[in-house]
Amino acid sequence: MSIATVRPRTLEKYRTVLDACQNGCLSNIQVVTRTGLSRSVVYRALQYYGIRLERQRPIAPKKPVAPFNPKPCLLPALDPIWKAEFRGLFYGEGCIRLANRAAAYTPRMTITLRLDDREILEDVYAKLGGNVRPFEREDCNPQMKWTANGWRRCRAITEEVFLDCLMPAKKTREIELCYEAILARYQMPYWPTEENYKVLASFFTRLTELKQFSF
């Protein structure tokens, strides 16, 4: 890129960034703080001059940290007999876990059945939401999987269907532990801190240990 391709006003900003780098700034955030320019302008200026600095996150957010308070997930009124049948289905074929994707530890409920039982999962989807899709596994008949993801939906399903369970099933304890993690997440800020992630990771570890066979 030649100097002629950059507008004079932009080039002036780029030179301000260059001066900051030549006067002791060692990271992009230090340049932003000293020059008052936006991070995007600083980034383009560093690219323009071929300068590589240490990349840092901002020390503190510019706005107050927002609480984690998503809108509740509203479910339709469920027949008590249907809820009892769903519990039995979930105890036998379902799974609840904290998905460790990108270290987010978000709750996930799944039920996997044979493809010729897809009407059951379509009924579950119609009442509880989520999604239903084909699921392939080696050396198995074609299957379908129902999945409910996220804090809002898993909280709504747990509170509507599972909180008054009486059977001392191991999966009941898994659901209760996952529900504890959900309530803990609702006490955290929208963007969790490192300490918040450690709390969620502890729930993930406890739930993983609970799923192990014990006799």
Q: What is the pLDDT of residues 135-161, one digit of tens each?
A: 887 788 899 999 999 999 999 999 999
Q: Is there a contact between 162 and 169 (Cβ–Cβ < 8 Å)?
A: no
26-30, 100-104, 185-189, range with greatest mean pLDDT: 185-189
What order do you get walking across the sheet with 143-149 strand by strand?
Answer: 94-99, 106-114, 143-149, 131-135
Domain ranges, ordered by start, for the chain: 3-49, 80-210
CA proximity to 108, closest of 146, 151, 149, 157: 149
* pLDDT for 210: 92
How high is the pLDDT of residue 1? 45
- Rounded to a whole number, what is the distance in angstroms from the first to the last CA of the chain? 69
pTM: 0.68
Do residues 131 and 87 make contact, with C-beta atoms less than 8 angstroms apart? no
Q: For residue 159, give both structure tokens.
A: 């509170």
CATH number of the domain located at residue range(s) 80-210 in this protein:
3.10.28.10
